[in-house]
Amino acid sequence: MRIYKLLIIMMVFVGLHSCSEYWDNGKRHPGPEPGEIPEFKAELFVPGVKRIGDTIMLKAELNGVDVSTTTVFKVNGVELKRDYSPLNGNRYIARQIGEYNVVATLDDFTDGFMFEVVRD
């Protein structure tokens, strides 16, 4: 009976000791746990030269996860329309030569970039 009590006390001690959090190989840091810094990034789905009439796919990522279907894209200040198809909100067809400014917004996150359309 005494051995069972000793085993129970050891299990409780080991269990409580293993619950403490450590970072950097066992060094305890003072203060609150550092939080994750969200990274929102917008870019062309396929980089490269764009020509008149090309369908240009836009992509947005939040911490490495593709969030293109829920992101609102504006090209030169005009919001891309979203129908029932999830691809309609991140697809743009270039109609003329020039530089295009893209702004992507998801909740409180915003990012932007530019691309150029050249002649055929």
Q: What would the DSSP string read from start to end of 58-120? A: EEEEETTEE-GGG-EEEETTEEPP--SSGGGGGEEE--SSEEEEEEEEETTEEEEEEEEEE--
The number of beta carbons lying within 10 Å of the beta carbon of residue 58 is 21
pLDDT for the residue numbered 34? 65
Per-residue pLDDT, averaged over 6-23, amounts to 66
pLDDT for the residue numbered 6? 76
Residue 7: pLDDT band with limits 50, 70, 90: confident
Residue 46: pLDDT band with limits 50, 70, 90: confident
pLDDT for the residue numbered 1? 66
pLDDT for the residue numbered 43? 92
**What domains can be seen in the chain, in order of their start residue?**
40-118 (2.60.40.1080)
| Tens of pLDDT, residues 54-77 | 888 999 999 999 998 889 999 999
Residue 9 has pLDDT above 90, yes or no: no
Per-residue pLDDT, averaged over 90-115, amounts to 91
